[in-house]
């Protein structure tokens, strides 16, 4: 049996508890209690979340034996350092575990314990700069969903912790089990650690119905030519009107916005399929594989094949 320990503290973000559902459903998929999750805290007893919901916990002690530690984050991590009991436990007993993970801003707790010294790590994008300032030795990548550096795992904010937990299930039980767990949790997609924290559609934030329709048309037809004239015709505007709308609402030209959608589509296909890079380049609308690579390096700082090799 693989024991999972989730460490919480007062004002913890309640969504961290959802990571335990990943392991619960993994047990259902494999048909046995492979994982045994337990909630811990420095002193034990009830712990109040930032939303006001309390949960009972077991006190940390030297006798506790756990395979995987998950450390939950709090809403204001820079102003709420972890307790002495928790830090001491992480620096001593927890180091014997197979892996230790920071959930969202739980990375601040790992950093406080010295576990992220010269390690690659990530955290919620809104707190990344603060973590970098407090702990400059961390090799922080603030745009990744989750990062694994030897036995240390860290995730981005909120729902990214589900992706990290699924990554653990995949390491333990294989890709097929992890996919089945994601399906049972009704997750829209399984995101690999190399994926960015930001969605292109959210980043573009179209306000008008016509621009939203133009972007939806583009996203559904990425493998076709998408000139501004074609997009404008699809939403019954002139090319000039649509270009002005793009600039006003997104700050981007139609060409740049479409490039971002192509890049995101290509990344998802690389992460979720076994299609060749040539096919992916064609399906996402790039001129060829070399063009896709150029845009990937410019947008993500890594070539497309690096996402596939990390799986």
Residues identified as active-site: 104
- The values of phi and psi at residue 185, to 5°, are -85, 0
The number of residues in the chain equals 311
Give the separation between CA 6 and CA 60, rounded to whole angstroms: 11
Say how far residue 226 (Cα) sits from the centre of its chain: 30
Contacts of 85-92 with CB under 8 Å at 24 or more apart are: 85/42, 85/43, 85/60, 86/7, 86/9, 86/41, 86/42, 86/60, 86/113, 87/112, 87/113, 89/7, 89/42, 89/60, 90/115, 91/115, 92/62
DSSP string, 196-258: BS--HHHHH---SHHHHHHHHHHHHTTTS---HHHHHHHTT--HHHHHHHHHHHHSS-HHHHH
CA gap 204, 260 in Å, rounded: 9
Give the DSSP H or E segment for 159: none
Tell me the two tokens of residue 122: 């990530």
8 Å CB contact between 77 and 108: yes
What residue has token string 């070399």? 290
Tokens of 84: 């002495």
Hey, CA dihedral for 59, 60, 63, 65, is it positive or negative? positive
């Amino acid at each position: 049996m693989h024991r999972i320990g989730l460490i919480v503290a007062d004002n913890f973000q309640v969504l961290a508890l959802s990571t335990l559902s990943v392991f619960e459903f993994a047990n259902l998929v494999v048909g046995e209690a492979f994982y045994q999750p337990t909630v811990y805290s420095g002193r034990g007893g009830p712990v109040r979340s930032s939303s006001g919901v309390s949960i009972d916990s077991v006190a940390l002690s030297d006798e506790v034996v756990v395979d995987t530690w998950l450390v939950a984050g709090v809403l204001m991590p820079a102003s709420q350092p972890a307790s002495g009991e928790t830090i001491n436990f992480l620096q001593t007993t927890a180091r014997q575990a197979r892996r230790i993970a920071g959930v969202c801003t739980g990375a601040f707790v790992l950093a406080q314990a010295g576990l992220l010294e010269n390690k690659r790590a990530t955290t919620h994008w809104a707190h990344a700069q603060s973590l970098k300032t407090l702990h400059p030795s961390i090799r922080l990548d603030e745009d990744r969903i989750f990062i694994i550096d030897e036995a240390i795992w860290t995730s981005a904010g909120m729902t990214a912790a589900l992706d990290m937990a699924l990554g653990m299930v995949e390491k333990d039980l294989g890709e097929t089990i992890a996919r089945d767990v994601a399906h049972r949790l009704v997750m829209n997609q399984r995101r690999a650690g190399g994926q960015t924290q930001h969605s292109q559609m959210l980043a573009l934030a179209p306000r008008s119905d016509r621009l939203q329709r133009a972007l939806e048309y583009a996203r559904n037809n990425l493998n076709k030519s998408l000139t501004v004239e074609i997009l404008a015709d699809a939403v019954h505007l002139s090319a000039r009107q649509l270009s002005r709308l793009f600039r006003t609402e997104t700050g981007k030209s139609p060409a740049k916005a479409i490039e971002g959608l192509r890049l995101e589509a290509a990344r998802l296909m690389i992460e979720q399929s076994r299609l060749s890079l040539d096919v992916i380049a064609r399906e996402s609308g790039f001129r060829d594989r070399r063009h896709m690579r150029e845009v990937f390096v410019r947008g993500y700082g890594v070539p497309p094949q690096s996402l596939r090799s990390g799986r």
